[in-house]
Amino acid sequence: MSAPLAPLLVPMADPVPTGNPVLDGITWAATHFIGLFNESATTLLSLTKGILPLLLVLLTAMYAVTTWIGEERVTRAVQWAGKYAVTRYTIMPVLAVIILTNPMCYSFGRFLPERYKPAFYDAAVSFVHPVTAFLPHANAGEVFVWAGVASGVLTVAPDRYAKLAAAYFLVGIVVILMRGLLTQWITALLISRGGHAERFKQFDEAYASGHFQGNAEGGVL
């Protein structure tokens, strides 16, 4: 740290009143203005020593694993998971969130028939917080949610932090399965009541023939 900048990063005490209200007001405003940025700089320094390197390492590792496995194999695994209701709302959204992170994870829905896309989105969007318990890179912008959940345990019983993380992650999977199945049922009900059954039958036929969204040969429905 250079000498001219050192005083700016030192916590500033409240100014001593001079008796002049105008001067005291200006001094107070200047002190707290610099103090705001001083605290911001301190927070940034703490992040560069903690969460930021962790996120970078996790992202690099995930990209390396995906490259090593191969994009085609990952795609086939996702398509297989989309065939069955249980895996469609557990394995598929979990893979999507971990591999693509938020918000790109929702793009995995292109491998599903139109009638299942709302339910998949509901499951995926509901998992972007539980995933941060073990893999914060998947939703780095909202790590504060998990930090808020875990802060009390870290203070009172830090030895139970891992158990809380595991429970948070596993309960998240149960919740996204429930939400996915419920949303799938609601979607089917709305399709039936809205008179869109024939239209979605066409979607299903197009999907069965390989014309799904994002397919270079099939185009977009």
Q: Do residues 85 and 124 make contact, with C-beta atoms less than 8 angstroms apart?
A: no
Its pTM surpasses 0.75: no
Summarised one tens digit per residue, pLDDT across range 120-144 is 999 999 999 999 988 888 888 888 8
Q: Please tell me the distance from the alpha carbon of residue 12 to that of residue 39, in angstroms, as a whole number.
A: 10
Q: What is the 3-state secondary structure (H, E, C) of the chain?
A: CCCCCHHHHCCCCCCCCCCCHHHHHHHHHHHHHHHHHHHHHHHHHHHHCCHHHHHHHHHHHHHHHHHHHCHHHHHHHHHHHCCCHHHHCCHHHHHHHHHHCCCHHHHHHHHCCHHHHHHHHHHHHCCCCHHHHCCHHHHHHHHHHHHHHHHHHHHHCHHHHHHHHHHHHHHHHHHHHHHHHHHHHHHHHHHHHCCCHHHHHHHHHHHHCCCCCCECCCECC
What integer best gives the mean pLDDT of the chain?
A: 79
Q: Which has more confidence, 179 or 57?
A: 179
- Give percent of the chain with pLDDT exceeding 90: 31
Summarised one tens digit per residue, pLDDT across range 75-114 is 788 888 889 999 999 999 999 998 888 888 898 888 899 9
Q: What's the confidence (pLDDT) of residue 33?
A: 66
